Structures are given as C-alpha cells and as structure tokens.
C-alpha cells in the first residue's frame, strides 16, 4: 500500500496520458522512447517529486554501486582522513559508502561483516579490530567472490590484498631519531600487540635499540592509546627512580597527554625527556613544544584502498604484490630536539 503523497510511475503515466511501461523505459533511459517524450517524462517526474527505486534497479543489475567500510572506531583523526580519501575516490567513480565501526571488538566486527553482506555491498574495505586473529567471518565474501581489501590493521602473513605503511621502519625511524638526539633510556607506549601496526612499531623500536647497542630496559607500556593512557604513562614515569630521557608513543593523542602531564610536574620537554608521536594529528602542531611525529598518510591510504577495490570490481588489471606499502615520513619538531644543532625536516 503506497503512503500518502508517494508518486509512482502510474501517476506519471496518467499525468502524461501514456503507458506506465513507456514511463519506466524513459526513466531508465532504455531504447524505444522518443527523445521529446523522454524529456517530458523526466520533467514531470521531477515536478511530481518522484523517488527513483534505486535499490530495486540495482538488484536487477546485480550491482548496488555500494562499498562497505568497517573501521575499528570513528573517533580518530587518522580514520577520519581515511574515510575522506575513500569517499572522494568512491564519489568520483560513482560509488557510495556504507561505514560502520567495530569499536575494537571482533564480536562487533563479525556482526558488521554480516550486515554488509546482507546489504549486498559490491565490495568491502576493512581495518581490523585489535582482537581479530582469524579471517573466518570473511569467508562468506570470499566464497561469493566479493572483493575484500584490508588497510592499516591487516592480517599478518596472509595472502590478502592490503594497503599499509612499513610500521616496523616507522618505529625504527622514530626510535633512531631519539637515539641520535642522545637519548639512552627510551620508553615505548604502544597498543595491543595482537594488532600488526602496534606489533611492528614495537619491533622497530626494539631493533633500533639493538642496532645502536642500547640495552632493552623493558620501558614499555601497552595501552589503549587514548588521552588517559598518556596521563597514566606520565604518572608512572614521575614515580620512577631513573626516568627515561626519550619516549616513543604509538599515537599523537597519548604523546600530547604525556607532554602536558610532565610539564605540569616541572619536567622539561625535550631537555629532560624528548618525545616522538605517531600519525601527524593536527594536535601535534598545537601543543607546546610542537610534537615530532610520524606522518601517516591516512587520506592517501583511503584513496588507494578505494581505488584498488573499484579496479577489481571493474575487472581492471592491478599489477604487483598483494601488499601495497605507502611511504611514511618522520616530521621533526621541537619536542624531540635535544641538540641545538638538530635540523628540522618535514
């Protein structure tokens, strides 16, 4: 039963005194309708505020022109940049996005994947929850041949198409920079080591210490990497008999919280403790001193992930490895420059 005010093709047909089948062909740009008649149909449909049943039309085509996106969380500058990159690429090529978040829970992620499948998305872009350890819940997509692209948080050593940066090298670069500034006791604040991104950054940190001949003093904290994590880490540092002289944090929000708490307690950054973060969040340029960080190109990751998926959907050949590695950059600012002769780069 149609609701009051809902316009159908039969209403348009009656207004123009033509058949409903002619209206349907005209609206869907099919052959057999004179150009003048088609213009009259479209004009009348617009005037009567006719709503196209895009879902039904797409089902007939077996294509919805919709891409599903599953993220760990929305409240992240990096993920917001990723979505912006995806949306720009999707809109440019005639696709729409359906975006959901797992809230860092594999249980919620399983539900999201099921919802995306039942929504008949053409393909899927996924950054995994921190506690996801296997790909069983993606089998429904794999069996149907529906393409899935993983980005940022991906399965370790798995043969899936993935878009990442070299997190090991990024962790290595951040730690090496602190060592070059004269730091001897470097603390690492990281995330859940089940996740490839945090495990790789942690391993890069450890390797940089080993290559420089510095002892691994187990100055590490694994946390949720929010503001409170930074405050807690700073409070732990303040209670130490021998404090670290350098800190590498796996995101900027926690790094900024560390700086604020240490400064409140009279600790000078960078002279007493040099700090490097991760992501190049805008907050890194607001804090005093400005935060040195790893520039993680979120918008580019989103664009490349969406572009790669759309090429697969359009049966366009994509060359190269299953893993696409984008470049990161160490952005050096005042928070890590212990040496007066230290040079800045961007």
**CATH code, 191:** 3.40.50.2300
CA–CA dist 50, 26 (Å, integer): 13
- pLDDT of res. 246: 96
Residues 46 and 71 in one domain: no
Contact 134, 169 (CB under 8 A): no
Do 141 and 246 fall into the same domain?
no
In a domain, 281, yes or no: yes
Q: Are residues 81 and 13 in the same domain?
A: no
The pTM assigned to this predicted structure is: 0.81
| Judgement on whether residues 78 and 158 belong to the same structural domain of the protein | yes
Strand ranges, E, within the chain: 66-71, 96-101, 123-126, 148-151, 162-165, 186-190, 220-222, 246-249, 274-276, 293-295, 323-326, 329-331
Q: Do 286 and 306 fall into the same domain?
A: no
Same domain? For 161 and 302 the reply is yes
Do residue 71 and residue 160 come from a single domain? yes
pLDDT of residue 103: 93
Measured between alpha carbons, how far is residue 47 from residues 50, 132, 203 in Å? 8, 51, 63
- 149 in the same domain as 73: yes
Q: Are residues 93 and 48 in the same domain?
A: no
Helix (H) or strand (E) holding 169: helix 167-180
Domain holding 121, by residue range, is: 66-165+298-326
Q: Reduce the DSSP state of residue 148 to 3 states and report it.
A: strand
261 φ, ψ (degrees, to nearest 5): -65, -40
pLDDT score of 3: 45
Q: How far is CA 136 from the centre of its chain?
A: 22
146 and 101 both lie in a single domain: yes
Q: Which residues of the chain have pLDDT under 50?
A: 1-4, 341-346
Q: State how many domains the chain has.
A: 3
- How far apart (Å, rounded) are the C-alpha atoms in residues 309 and 85? 13
* Residues 161 and 310 grouped into a single domain: yes
Residue 145 φ/ψ region, left for φ over 0, alpha for ψ in the -120 to 50 degree band, beta for the rest: left
Kindly state whether residue 317 falls inside one of the protein's structural domains: yes
């Amino acid at each position: 039963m149609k609701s009051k005010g809902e316009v159908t093709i039969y209403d348009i047909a009656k207004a123009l005194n033509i058949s409903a089948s002619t209206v349907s062909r005209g609206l869907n740009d099919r052959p057999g309708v004179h150009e003048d008649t088609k213009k009259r149909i479209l004009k009348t449909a617009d005037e009567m505020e006719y709503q196209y049943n895009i879902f039904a039309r797409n089902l007939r085509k077996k294509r919805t022109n919709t891409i599903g996106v599953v993220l760990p969380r929305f409240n992240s500058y990096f993920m917001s940049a990723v979505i912006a990159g995806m949306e720009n690429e999707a809109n440019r090529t005639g696709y729409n996005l359906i975006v959901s978040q797992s809230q860092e829970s594999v249980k919620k992620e399983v539900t999201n994947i099921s919802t995306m499948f039942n929504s008949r998305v053409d393909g899927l872009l996924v950054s995994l929850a921190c506690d996801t350890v296997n790909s069983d819940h993606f089998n429904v997509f794999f069996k149907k041949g529906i393409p899935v692209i993983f980005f940022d948080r991906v399965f370790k050593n798995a043969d899936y198409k993935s878009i990442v940066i070299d997190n090991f090298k990024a962790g290595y670069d951040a730690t090496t920079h602190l060592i070059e500034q004269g730091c001897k006791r470097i603390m690492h604040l990281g995330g859940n080591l089940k996740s490839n991104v945090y495990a790789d950054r942690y391993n890069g940190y450890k390797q940089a210490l080993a290559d420089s001949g510095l002892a691994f003093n187990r100055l590490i904290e694994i946390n949720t990497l929010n503001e409170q994590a930074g405050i807690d880490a700073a409070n732990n540092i303040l209670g130490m008999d021998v404090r670290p002289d350098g800190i590498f944090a796996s995101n900027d929000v926690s790094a900024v919280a560390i700086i604020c708490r240490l400064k409140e307690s009279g600790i000078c950054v960078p002279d007493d403790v040099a700090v490097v973060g991760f992501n190049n969040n805008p907050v890194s340029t607001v804090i005093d001193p400005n935060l040195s960080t790893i520039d993680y190109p979120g918008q580019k990751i989103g664009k490349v992930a969406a572009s790669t998926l759309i090429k697969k959907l359009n049966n366009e050949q994509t060359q190269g490895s299953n893993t696409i590695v984008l470049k990161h950059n160490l952005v050096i600012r005042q928070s890590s420059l212990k040496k007066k002769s230290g040079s800045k780069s961007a």
